Amino acid sequence: MKAMQLSAWQTPPEIREVPEPEPGPGEVVIRVAGAGACHSDLHLLHDFAPGMMPWNPPFTLGHENAGWVHTLGAGVSGFSVGEPVAVYGPWGCGRCKRCQVGMENYCERAADQPAAGGGLGYDGGMAEYMLVPAARLLVPLGDLDPVEAAPLTDAALTPYHAIKRSLPLLTPGATAVAIGIGGLGHLGVQILRALTAARIIAVDNRPEALRLAERSGADHAVRAGDDAAGEIRDLTEGLGADVVVDFVGVDATLALATAVARPRSDITVVGIGGGTVPFGFFSVPYEASLATTYWGSRPELMEVLELARHGRIKTEVHRFPLEEGPQVYERLAAGEFTGRAVITPNS
Ligand code: NAD
Ligand code: ZN
Ligand code: ZN
């Protein structure tokens, strides 16, 4: 079968012919419907170097996947062939306390695992078929379209987890600022809209992303730049934001986040842009809490799918055949997409 693989660190992805996977005991092979092209893959393709991760190429890209059950390994029950499923992306040991409660994104034995997930050391979903090492990593989709559902496993799950930690602050009248309205950000805005009655201010440096923010339910769309902090202060009557979620994570966005956050706020960094911000008595608001977050839990994925099922969130999807995968990443890097580009290897 064909697969889009990373062959070596810091090389462009390639379409290669690879053997079709066969499930061992407890494993499941899915026929891939959709595999989202996440900005993290650009970091993976361009910024990662030998020794940075305990795992190495070659592997098939695609860590945001959904499809149909194709073959069940020995001993797997509870799923039927042809059933649409989402693949929970962060693969932990499955046995530690965190994994037992479905929080495999923070597996206690992550450092001892051979890789982090499909598309992250293990073969991912940018191929006709994908091997999933345990049935516990599959979530039934019911009547959700598996192409549209693929981005929900990361582009929605990650903001959902980031926002959920701040729900107590997001009372009616509170302000949430979302910075970077791409694949994650446009779903982040929809999740804020679905879960809260807070005022939502979206920030991006692309006009088309700001329009997407408005379509997604933002109350205000602010162009990134020198005036952004002042505009946000004005929109909040000088108070600043109760919650800032930064889906970019470069120096400029972190500086904006700390500039507009008010005392007792949450500042959550989701983007892995590699920026830093000084943390000290005079550099962040009083009692602001700063956190980075990584992906989300399995129960949270089920909650995200429920939001989609009820029409409360919807990914703006652009579909591409597997062969166009390498160009999709070039176009993602050039900022040409609104929403999420999804590779559909079987359509
Ligand atoms: P994307 O390319 O779809 O969207 C990024 C958006 O940020 C674009 O709309 C872009 O115009 C905007 N942007 C870029 N620089 C900006 C700036 N200086 N100011 C304002 N806006 C700016 O990316 P994505 O797939 O949504 O991913 C977003 C980030 O989240 C990436 O860094 C990605 O690696 C990271 N990520 C983190 C996790 C996690 O678990 N923490 C999971 C998935 C993705
Ligand atoms: Zn991702
Ligand atoms: Zn674990």
What CATH number does residue 272 fall under? Answer: 3.40.50.720
- The alpha carbon of 115 and the centre of ligand 1 are apart by a number of angstroms equal to 23
Q: Give pLDDT, residue 126.
A: 98
Q: Which atom of ligand 1 is nearest to the CA of 37?
A: 25
Distance (Å, whole) CA 41 – CA 196: 31
Q: Give pLDDT, residue 169.
A: 98
Q: Which of 313, 303, 267 is nearest to 161 (CA)?
A: 303
- As a whole number of Å, the CA-based R_g of the chain is 20
Q: Which atom of ligand 1 is nearest to the CA of 203?
A: 20
- The alpha carbon of 184 and the centre of ligand 1 are apart by a number of angstroms equal to 7
347 inside domain: no
227 inside domain: yes
Q: Which atom of ligand 1 is nearest to the CA of 293?
A: 41
> Are residues 115 and 144 both part of a single domain?
yes
Q: Is 180 touching ligand 1 by the criterion CB < 6 Å?
A: yes
> Are residues 36 and 113 both part of a single domain?
yes
Probe residue for ligand 1, chosen from 204, 226, 232, 269 as the CB with the greatest number of ligand atoms within 8 Å: 204
> Are residues 120 and 13 both part of a single domain?
yes
Q: Which ligand is nearest to the CA of 89?
A: 2
> Are residues 168 and 245 both part of a single domain?
yes
* Cβ contacts of 75-81, under 8 Å, gap ≥ 24: 75/25, 75/26, 76/23, 76/26, 76/27, 76/28, 76/135, 78/135, 79/28, 79/135, 79/138, 79/140
Domain encompassing residue 208:
155-290
> Are residues 94 and 120 both part of a single domain?
yes
**Average pLDDT, rounded, for the chain:** 97
> Which residue puts its alpha carbon closest to atom 29 of ligand 1?
271
Q: Which residues of 206-219 are buried (b: 16+ CB within 10 A; e: fewer)?
A: beebbebbeebbbb
> Are residues 236 and 324 both part of a single domain?
no
Give the residue-averaged pLDDT of 95-124. Answer: 97
346 inside domain: no
Tens digit of each residue's pLDDT (9 = 90 or more) over 333-342: 999 999 999 9
Count the domains in the chain.
Answer: 2
> Are residues 7 and 131 both part of a single domain?
yes
Give the residue-averaged pLDDT of 298-304. Answer: 98
Distance (Å, whole) CA 191 – CA 313: 7
Q: Give pLDDT, residue 270.
A: 98
Give the residue-averaged pLDDT of 193-199. Answer: 98
> Are residues 72 and 161 both part of a single domain?
no
- Name 227's Cβ contacts closer than 8 Å, sequence gap at least 6: none
Its pTM stands at 0.98
- The alpha carbon of 294 and the centre of ligand 2 are apart by a number of angstroms equal to 10
Give the residue-averaged pLDDT of 282-292. Answer: 96
